[in-house]
Amino acid sequence: MTTSTFSQIGVIGLGTMGRNLALNLADQGVPLVVWERDRELAERARSDLGDRVTWASGPWDLAARLAPPRAVLLMVTAGAAVDSVLGELKPFLGARDVVVDGGNTEAGDTARRQQELEKSGIRLIGLGVSGGEEGARNGPALMAGGAVDAWERVAPQLTAIAARTTDGSACCQRLGAGASGHFVKTVHNGIEYAVMQVLAEAYDLMRNGLGLEVPAIADVFRNWNQGPSAGYLVEIAGDVVATQDPAGGPLLDRVVDRAGQKGTGRWASLAALDFGVPAPTIAEAVFARAVYARRSDRHALAASPPTATTISVDDLHGAVRATTLIAFLQGLDLIAAADRSAGWGVRLPDVARVWRAGCILRAALLDRLAAAYDALPPDASGLSAPDLRDDLAQTLPGLRRAIAGSVTAGFAVPAMTSALGWYDGMTRHRVPADFLQGLRDRFGAHGFERDDQPGTHHADWSGR
Ligand code: 6PG
């Protein structure tokens, strides 16, 4: 085989995401070799990709069609399938070859695999890919983590297929070492859960609290999408609400009220608990899905429905804006904490910038977040950024009024209430942790610190 007959990159796994990324790579003129084990998926991909790519008959054949240092993009279901494909591929790879895992892989798995492969000199890049099917086809946001030289091997091909912002920058970056790319993608998804949840709460309040008809709600979302809350999720909220069932009426009214989840929101919440980072809006969004999933319990327990509310649409807008910003601040805080622990070298402005186009979280807010974190000293809370504080000063009164109206009428708004609880906690000088310490020391002699003396103290808390 001459050098010119080698492909530049191999793609393993041609399900929806893999097939669309392969099409995107082919469109960019990247010579690629592909392999899919599943016959049906392979046939489906063959009808799209045809002879624009080289078809390998297995991992060994795919590896043989790549010149060292080889680059292989794995687009297989996260979990055991990744280990299994890596096991098959490894005998045909050598030192300096690069494997890119483009699945929604848990960062701990990526770190483990990086260590394991490193023993053979094979480098693994954990690549967060966001944007769904459409993004994969036309330009996803790509969040990479791993060694610099490994990234340099695949950066040209991946940058070519990534989404671009209006200023022309590619949303494709090595964010840091190790599993940082997959961790950032996990947190991206956690924030995605939170933003979807607050939009769902706003929809519920408009539909069932304010009694607005579906076209009016779609107009509200479309209107919000013109201003500071513009973003992909707000945009598609308008479309989803407006979609009609072919049999008549809003399609949403025919959808079973039980939401699925594949685990990334849960991982983000678990990481927040592990690192002790307050990210309640992300966690509440996961718990909300758990409540929604308990459909038969809800039916058995159904009490009287919430009553009408008089929240203004403007206050609801403030509530959505404040909650969305707070969910981002929580997620970015979580990334900072994980980065401090792992030493990946992730910069938060880079994270905000890579989310500006292509991904599910793309929104006008990202430019402002990037600029705000650029101006902050490392490790400072996003809440200390003047621009973001101004934003919250404008929107928090609406959030407070929206929550008051919701809870009085009997609507559960966990994203909104957790966001406000986070803000009020984070900005309070003295909190009742003194009381918690008193109780802990009373029942368990756990000790407490005093603000007027050094050291750990213990007291007789018998009330005398
Ligand atoms: C993206 C999405 C994508 C997906 C997840 C979350 O960034 O393109 O986050 O990764 O939608 O699978 O889905 P669940 O809601 O099913 O957990």
Would you list the DSSP string of 327-395?
Answer: HHHHHHHHHHHHHHHHT----HHHHHHHTSSSSTT-BTHHHHHHHHHHHSPTT--GGG-HHHHHHHHHH
pLDDT tens digit sequence for 66-103: 999 999 999 999 999 999 999 999 999 999 999 999 99
Q: Kindly state if the Cβ of 178 falls inside 6 Å of ligand 1.
A: no
Mutate to test the pocket of ligand 1, among 106, 199, 262, 355 (most ligand atoms within 8 A of CB): 262
Shortest CA distance to 388 belongs to which of 408, 410, 371, 406? 371
Q: Kindly state if the Cβ of 269 falls inside 6 Å of ligand 1.
A: no
Q: Model pTM greater than 0.85?
A: yes
For the chain, state the CA radius of gyration: 25
Whose Cα sits closest to atom 16 in ligand 1? Answer: 261
Cα diameter, the chain: 89
Burial class (CB in 10 A: 0-12, 13-18, 19+), 168: exposed
Tell me the DSSP string of 111-154. HHHHHHHHTTT-EEEEEEEESHHHHHHH--EEEEES-HHHHHHH
Separation CA 188–CA 258 (nearest Å): 22
- What's residue 4's pLDDT? 58
**189 CA from centroid of ligand 1 (Å):** 6
> Quick check: 185 and 130 in contact, CB under 8 A?
yes
Shortest CA distance to 387 belongs to which of 329, 315, 317, 319? 329
Three-state SS for 101?
strand
Q: Kindly state if the Cβ of 20 falls inside 6 Å of ligand 1.
A: no
Q: Kindly state if the Cβ of 264 falls inside 6 Å of ligand 1.
A: yes
Mutate to test the pocket of ligand 1, among 360, 361, 362, 366 (most ligand atoms within 8 A of CB): 360
Question: Which helix (H) or strand (E) element contains residue 172?
Answer: strand 172-176
**111 CA from centroid of ligand 1 (Å):** 21
| Sign of the CA dihedral with 179 first, then 185, 188, and 192 last | negative
Q: Kindly state if the Cβ of 131 falls inside 6 Å of ligand 1.
A: yes
- What's residue 2's pLDDT? 47
- What's residue 83's pLDDT? 98
Whose Cα sits closest to atom 12 in ligand 1? Answer: 262
| Sign of the CA dihedral with 70 first, then 73, 353, and 426 last | negative
Ligand 1 atom closest to the Cα of residue 128 is: 7
> Quick check: 128 and 142 in contact, CB under 8 A?
yes
Measured in degrees and rounded to the nearest 5, phi and psi for residue 295 equal -65, -45
Three-state SS for 182?
helix
Whose Cα sits closest to atom 10 in ligand 1? Answer: 130
- Buried-state track 240-260, b at ≥16 Cβ within 10 A, e below 16: bbbeeeeeeebebeeeeeebe
Whose Cα sits closest to atom 1 in ligand 1? Answer: 130
Provide the CA 293 distance to its chain's centre, in angstroms.
21
Q: Kindly state if the Cβ of 104 falls inside 6 Å of ligand 1.
A: yes
Q: Kindly state if the Cβ of 186 falls inside 6 Å of ligand 1.
A: no
pLDDT tens digit sequence for 345-388: 999 999 999 999 999 999 999 999 999 999 999 889 999 999 99
- What's residue 372's pLDDT? 98
Whose Cα sits closest to atom 14 in ligand 1? Answer: 261
- Buried-state track 337-366, b at ≥16 Cβ within 10 A, e below 16: bbbeebebebbbbbbbbbbbbbbbbbbebb
Ligand 1 atom closest to the Cα of residue 131 is: 8
Mutate to test the pocket of ligand 1, among 75, 77, 129, 189 (most ligand atoms within 8 A of CB): 189
Q: Kindly state if the Cβ of 192 falls inside 6 Å of ligand 1.
A: yes
- Active site (catalytic) residues: 185, 192
Shortest CA distance to 10 belongs to which of 153, 217, 163, 177? 153
Shortest CA distance to 401 belongs to which of 209, 140, 152? 209
Residues in the chain: 464
Separation CA 190–CA 269 (nearest Å): 7
Three-state SS for 310?
coil
Q: Kindly state if the Cβ of 97 falls inside 6 Å of ligand 1.
A: no
Q: In the chain, which stretches have pLDDT less than 70?
A: 1-4
> Quick check: 454 and 436 in contact, CB under 8 A?
no
